[in-house]
Structure 1
Amino acid sequence: MNIFKKTGKMALGSRLRLLTAKITEDAAQIYALYNVEFSPKWFPVFFVLSEEGEKTITEIAADIGHSQPSVTKIVQEMLLAGLIDENLKSNDKRRNVVGLTEKGKVLSENIKVQCGDIDVAIDGIIAEANHNLWEAIEEWEFLLEQKSLLRRVQEQKKLRESTDVQVVDYEPKYQTAFRTLNEEWISNYFEMEEADYKALDNPEEYILNKGGKILVALYNNEPVGVCALIKMDDPDYDFEMAKMAVSPKAQGKSIGWLLGKAIIERAKELKASKLYLESNTILKPAINLYIKMGFQKIVGRSTPYKRCNIQMVLDLTEKE
């Protein structure tokens, strides 16, 4: 149809619904062709009861991948049609068991003849087509079970938006953003401490003049993320990755990842062998980010921050 040529793949759901509606319309006429009074939407429930016997609503819903309210509605319609009984005898009186009536069992045998003709007809379509839709549907179901369409679109959106992020070196004009972004997240979870004020109020003196770096992430030319590389006076660790902060309005664009990787590259350029950081385990997304970057937990080093309950290090001498 011309509309789908114009919309492209974003109308996949609409196109599938249209195809489903066409097949369902034909299915209703096929039942009439065989003089069977039956609604196509009953078939999954009817098939399960026909093949496997009595079941609860919950069990049927799990078997056919429908919601319990949907199955309950179908069961009620089939009850009115006289095809199933409910509240059948069960060892557990709390279980509402349903099963086919004699009318339903007779209908099941009649439908088997109809199903044979349908199978042959569908095989004919598959033989005429360039692609096997039945196998494709099974494959798509598997792939979407592994990763939903929503998740895939979220990842693509994040990837696209991350390409619009530019990581630049610190300039004095970014001092306000450096402080504001850090103060915002620190105050949200903890409280500002003396060491925070030293670094944020005087980044040139405390960080840059001592051989460190500060990077700023720009999105649409607006500073939305910052991260610092602080020179350490420690024989075991060369630099600390610190003061990483991303604006809440810019989250979901891989800015933390881009800043972290850029800081790591700066540390390598400065011939650092180990990169140290401090954090808190309540910041789960941040901890997961550091682990993804290759940082590993260490213990035993003193810290000026009350909020620090985890210390991590990245060995820059290891090959990636």
Structure 2
Amino acid sequence: MQDALLTYGELGLGSRLKRLSDLMMREIHVVYDTCNIEFDPYLFPVFNIIIEHQQVTTTTIQEALQYTQPAITQAIKKLSSKKLISHKVDKQDKRKKLFQLTKKGIALHHELIPLWQIIDQQVKWLTEGSANSLTSHLNFFENQLQKKSLSNRILEEYSKLKKQNENN
């Protein structure tokens, strides 16, 4: 059966992007599970903002990501419950909480760095191209993922990197 979303052209663009986003999140989750890394790919943006800023308020996260406050609060709760982040009260404004990585969060970040580099490399390869429209490029992207899943692409490169590091 033909993929109905393909036949909708630009009218199906939002649905295709959502489907692709969901697929990518599932594939990254497979990678984390395979590598025995307990991390939810949906938490990446908030976790990364905390990494970049070292200490950050929810307002700063919201401005940086343009997420809703409830979405940020939910991510903060999940990261806190996993003991990846902690907070302290701002000395100048006692109403503000400053979020930062815990030792466990720092260790996880260091473990994730090489994997994130490979994920970035593989997604760049899939998204670079000279298509004349976004839908044409989505066709290419989706076709490539049908040929070989994103998780397989990432895990193959990660395995190569691990072997290379073992040989050095």
TM-score by length of 2: 0.71
Q: Which amino acid aligns with 1:58?
A: T
8 A contact 2:89–2:95 mirrored in 1: no
Higher relative contact order, structure no. (Cα contacts within 8 Å, ≥ 6 residues apart): 2
8 A contact 2:89–2:96 mirrored in 1: no
Q: CA deviation at 1:3?
A: 0.6
Cα root mean square deviation, aligned: 2.2
Q: Which amino acid aligns with 2:53?
A: E
Q: Which has the higher helix share?
A: 2
1:138-186 Cα deviation digits (max 9, x unpaired)? xxxxxxxxxxxxxxxxxxxxxxxxxxxxxxxxxxxxxxxxxxxxxxxxx
Q: Distance in 1 between matches of 2:17 and 2:110?
A: 31
1:166-315 maps to which residues of 2 (within 5 A)?
A: none
What 5-or-longer segments of structure 1 have no aligned partner?
A: 137-320
Q: Distance in 2 between matches of 1:77 and 1:120?
A: 27
* Closer, same or farther: CA 7–122 of 1 in aligned 2, 3 Å: closer
Partner of 1:26: 27
Partner of 1:93: 94
Q: Distance in 2 between matches of 1:124 and 1:56?
A: 34
Q: Does 1:119 align with 2:120?
A: yes
8 A contact 2:6–2:12 mirrored in 1: no
Q: Does 1:74 align with 2:75?
A: yes
Partner of 1:183: none
Partner of 1:110: 111
Q: Distance in 2 between matches of 1:65 and 1:116?
A: 24
Q: Distance in 1 between matches of 2:123 and 2:60?
A: 29
Q: How many residue pairs were aligned?
A: 133
Q: Which amino acid aligns with 2:72?
A: V
1:79-107 Cα deviation digits (max 9, x unpaired)? 11111112344321011221111110111
Q: Which amino acid aligns with 2:29?
A: A
Q: Distance in 2 between matches of 1:107 and 1:88?
A: 24
Q: Which amino acid aligns with 1:56?
A: T
Partner of 2:150: none
Give 3-state SS (helix, strand or coil) of 1:55's partner: coil
Give the share of equivalent positions with the same residue, in percent.
28
8 A contact 2:88–2:97 mirrored in 1: yes
TM-score by length of 1: 0.39
